[in-house]
Chains A and B, each alone.
Chain A
Amino acid sequence: MNPLALERPSRWRAFGVAGVFALALLPSFPLLREAASGQRGLGTFPATLWQSFGLATASAALGFAAGLPLGVTAALYSFPGRRALLALASLPLLVPSLLWAVGWSALLARVAPGPLPGAAACVVVFATTAIPLVLLTAWASTAALGAGQVEAARLAGGEAVLVRSACRHAAVPALLAAGLAGVLVLSDPAPGQIFGQRTAAAEILVSFAALFDFGLAARQGLALAALVLVLAAPLAAVAAPRLAAAVLPRAIRPLRPVWHREMAALAAGGLLVFVGIGVAAPLAGLALPALRGTALARAGSEVVETLGNTAIYGLGAGALAAVLGLLLAALAGRSSRLRTAVLALSFLLLALPSALPSLGLLRWSGEVPAALAPVFHSRFTVCVALGLRFLPVATLLALRGWASTSPTWAWAAELHGVSLGRYLARVLAPRLAPAVATGLVLVGLLSAADVGTVLLLHPPGQRSLPLAIFTVMANAPEALVASLCLLYVVGAGALLAALPWLAGRRL
């Protein structure tokens, strides 16, 4: 093996890509067998699925309507505190939705006591995640415009024309992000549980954990996956080629946001409103009960107790996803077709319900030889399941990192007789490190925030912090639950603040 092998086209690359995705889908295979076993009953699930679809559509629409203008104006205009506001607006993506649901629930109980409007509250919580996803996509899409293009639009008709043109440019990626957010809503059980709203993801958990009917849970999981695939496949087909082109670096004069009094006020005001409603309000809901009495101290000891497992799940999943993401990026190499295929499959993988691989692994754990059973009931399996679930996030970053390298580096190394090991260590590793580290941290945060997978797979007594919150929230005092949530948000915020340092300037 020599450095040139990293750049040489080969049919093995396609097989390698197929192999990694087969590995990622492997845990879900036992459910297909379950579906083929003959039983077809789904209970009341189709009606619930329809309700969930309504929630997902409403959340995605809200996410698109609010996220697109916010993202575009935040990319075009500079104003004081822009970076901080963008970071705060991204926070909901890295925190389990159940925390926001608990916050809203606590706030509404004080502000408007009475029965909670379940569906509306669910949409608000889901939109809290959908809006930042669309916002960041629109922001990235607009920021990728060249300064020349922006100046031309500005000269053609001023700020109104510029914003309209930029919104048109970012609309398709933003629509795709809204679609992805909607699909992810279908897999999220927590807000429905908290607001007493029946959702498809929650019903799968109930079928398995309360009714102990694995077959029913498996069939429901597959029905959900089928709906998700029907929705996500066209999105993936549209999104993948665009994303594959977008990850390539372009030699353009980069866009610099400018100060414009009215537009900056609009952009800052919009972000402030979202941060106020989406982040500050539920945080206030958490802080009000949390800061009373000794709940924070008790929550602190619970955090210490679960911190180890939370970190292990996060780091283990992050490391696995970062390694596999880098492998996928290396396998895709310079081939635009392979890069497109990797992105399309990643999109579908991310959209699949998390219950699918978890239930599959559970099925396997009951069928493997006794000697292997401890492996399936260990934290290692949780890390693997989470790492494979969030692999697409690390893959996207690794593809971006790989695209920032030049094939001529390997050619030059080959010409100078540099060994593959030395080339990897001295040239490629330092270059790819920021992308890989960012992928590791992001997947770590997403995995640490996951409830569904950990709930189904965690070994006895090895709960993560979000799972601890999820399991105690029905019975524990409100102040304790709120304190636990608050501490989680503070920790996630601190890690989010460290991301720019990890990413360096190359992402």
Chain B
Amino acid sequence: MSAPVCELRAVTKSYGGNLTLMRALRRVSFAVPVGEHTSLLGPSGSGKSTLLRLLAGLEAPDEGEVWMGGALVSAAGRIDLPPHRRGIAMVFQDLALWPNLSVLDNVLLGLSGARLPRIERIDRARQALALCSIEDLADRRPETLSGGQQQRVALARALALEPRLLLLDEPFSGLDLVVKARLIEEVHRLAEERGFTVLLVSHDPLEATPLCRAAVVLQAGEIEEAGPLAALLREPRSELLRAFRDQLGPSGGVR
């Protein structure tokens, strides 16, 4: 059996000084098996984005360990493997598209850490644009695109890295239902085609159900419940999933 694509072991993370200490995560442990798309659910301020930044290597945990593909990548107060060597990609909540660059240049600059010859980088960037059906937008600036098109650019930039794990930090919030459904479907298709695992952060279980089989529900920096999403929706313990089930029924449209 292969090692989990990512794993947190008793991770704790706090912010602020002695007087204003805010514990964002308390001894959180969970693992994401290869190919099992997982959603990280919880209300605002529950620690979801912090957890994602720890996995991405943008921050180090105060306590505990982060493992990826069977290798220790960061531990208390230190980062052993930098973000761009972890085989991950991330789509941020605000997409983090670099505004002065064209769509193609956004993807190209995103490949600058890959140490590929320029021609190969251009090829890979164009392939990523084609994969996300935005090759005709290559010369446009992000600010001239619609919300859905900008999401595709961010996705293309992430997929160009050919990641093993794709982190999605509430990237679909602010989109209308039709565009959101289409994008989630597309991410699912791409994940099947390219063989990467998705870890989706959201406060809305409706975004998770079409894509993810497993879920971890966070509340105030601690795991409230975790397991197969279908099972969680049948007998929810967390307020979030109970409210969702009461609205949509026990299946909740889960895959």
A409 CB to closest chain B CB, in angstroms?
A: 6
- Bound-state Cα–Cα, A413 to B111, Å: 10
Q: Tell whether, in the assembled complex, residue B112 and residue A419 are in contact, meaning their CB atoms are under 8 Å apart.
A: yes
Within 8 A of B (CB), among A421-446: 422, 426-427, 430-431
Contacts A409-B96, A427-B98, A430-B100; A414 near B58 (Cβ below 8 A): yes
Q: Tell whether, in the assembled complex, residue B112 and residue A408 are in contact, meaning their CB atoms are under 8 Å apart.
A: no
Q: Which residues of A contact B88 (CB under 8 A)?
A: 415
Q: Tell whether, in the assembled complex, residue B58 and residue A406 are in contact, meaning their CB atoms are under 8 Å apart.
A: no
Q: Tell whether, in the assembled complex, residue B96 and residue A416 are in contact, meaning their CB atoms are under 8 Å apart.
A: no
Q: Is A21 an interface residue (CB 8 A)?
A: no
Q: Tell whether, in the assembled complex, residue B161 and residue A416 are in contact, meaning their CB atoms are under 8 Å apart.
A: yes
Q: Tell whether, in the assembled complex, residue B94 and residue A408 are in contact, meaning their CB atoms are under 8 Å apart.
A: yes
- Bound-state Cα–Cα, A416 to B58, Å: 11
Q: Scoring A residues 299 to 315 as 1 if CB is less than 8 Å from chain B, else 0, what string do you get?
A: 00000000000000000
Q: Which residues of A contact B110 (CB under 8 A)?
A: 412, 416, 418
Q: Tell whether, in the assembled complex, residue B92 and residue A422 are in contact, meaning their CB atoms are under 8 Å apart.
A: no
B115 nearest in chain A by CB position? A417
**Interface residue range, chain B:** 20 to 34
Q: Which residues of A contact B84 (CB under 8 A)?
A: 414-417
A407 CB to closest chain B CB, in angstroms?
A: 9
Q: Is B113 an interface residue (CB 8 A)?
A: yes
Q: Which residues of B contact A2 (CB under 8 A)?
A: 82
Q: Tell whether, in the assembled complex, residue A417 and residue B113 are in contact, meaning their CB atoms are under 8 Å apart.
A: yes
Q: Tell whether, in the assembled complex, residue B109 and residue A416 are in contact, meaning their CB atoms are under 8 Å apart.
A: yes
Within 8 A of A (CB), among B30-73: 53, 56-58
B15 nearest in chain A by CB position? A9
Q: Is B99 an interface residue (CB 8 A)?
A: yes
Q: Which residues of A contact B58 (CB under 8 A)?
A: 4, 411, 414-415
- Bound-state Cα–Cα, A190 to B95, Å: 54
Q: Tell whether, in the assembled complex, residue B111 and residue A415 are in contact, meaning their CB atoms are under 8 Å apart.
A: no
Contacts A415-B83, A427-B100, A431-B100; A406 near B112 (Cβ below 8 A): no
- Bound-state Cα–Cα, A410 to B58, Å: 10
Q: Tell whether, in the assembled complex, residue B111 and residue A416 are in contact, meaning their CB atoms are under 8 Å apart.
A: yes
B111 nearest in chain A by CB position? A416
Q: Which residues of A contact B82 (CB under 8 A)?
A: 2, 414, 417
Q: Tell whether, in the assembled complex, residue A422 and residue B100 are in contact, meaning their CB atoms are under 8 Å apart.
A: no
Within 8 A of B (CB), among A165-220: none
Q: Is B145 an interface residue (CB 8 A)?
A: no
Q: Is B240 an interface residue (CB 8 A)?
A: no
Q: Is B184 an interface residue (CB 8 A)?
A: no
A415 nearest in chain B by CB position? B83
Within 8 A of A (CB), among B81-105: 82-85, 88-90, 92-96, 98-101, 105
Q: Tell whether, in the assembled complex, residue B94 and residue A406 are in contact, meaning their CB atoms are under 8 Å apart.
A: yes
Q: Which residues of B contact A412 (CB under 8 A)?
A: 90, 92, 96, 98, 110, 157
Which of A415, A416, A417, A419 has most chain B Cβ within 10 Å?
A415
B7 CB to closest chain A CB, in angstroms?
A: 19
Q: Which residues of B contact A417 (CB under 8 A)?
A: 82-85, 112-114
Q: Which residues of A contact B100 (CB under 8 A)?
A: 426-427, 430-431
Q: Tell whether, in the assembled complex, residue A422 and residue B98 are in contact, meaning their CB atoms are under 8 Å apart.
A: no
Q: Which residues of B contact A415 (CB under 8 A)?
A: 56-58, 83-84, 88-90
Within 8 A of A (CB), among B109-128: 109-114
Q: Tell whether, in the assembled complex, residue A427 and residue B101 are in contact, meaning their CB atoms are under 8 Å apart.
A: yes
Q: Scoring A residues 381 to 421 as 1 if CB is less than 8 Å from chain B, else 0, what string do you get?
A: 00000000000000000000000001011011111111100
- Bound-state Cα–Cα, A413 to B108, Å: 12
Q: Which residues of B contact A413 (CB under 8 A)?
A: 98, 109
Q: Which residues of A contact B89 (CB under 8 A)?
A: 415
Q: Tell whether, in the assembled complex, residue B92 and residue A411 are in contact, meaning their CB atoms are under 8 Å apart.
A: yes
Contacts A411-B58, A411-B92; A416 near B112 (Cβ below 8 A): yes
Within 8 A of B (CB), among A219-256: none
Residues of chain A touching chain B, judged by Cβ–Cβ distance below 8 Å, are 2, 4, 406, 408-409, 411-419, 422, 426-427, 430-431
Can you offer 8 A-B residue contacts whose CB atoms are under 8 A? Answer: A408-B93, A411-B92, A415-B56, A416-B111, A416-B157, A416-B161, A419-B113, A430-B100
Residues of chain B touching chain A, judged by Cβ–Cβ distance below 8 Å, are 53, 56-58, 82-85, 88-90, 92-96, 98-101, 105, 109-114, 157, 161
Q: Which 7 A-B pairs have the closest CB atoms?
A: A417-B113, A417-B84, A408-B96, A412-B96, A430-B100, A416-B110, A415-B83
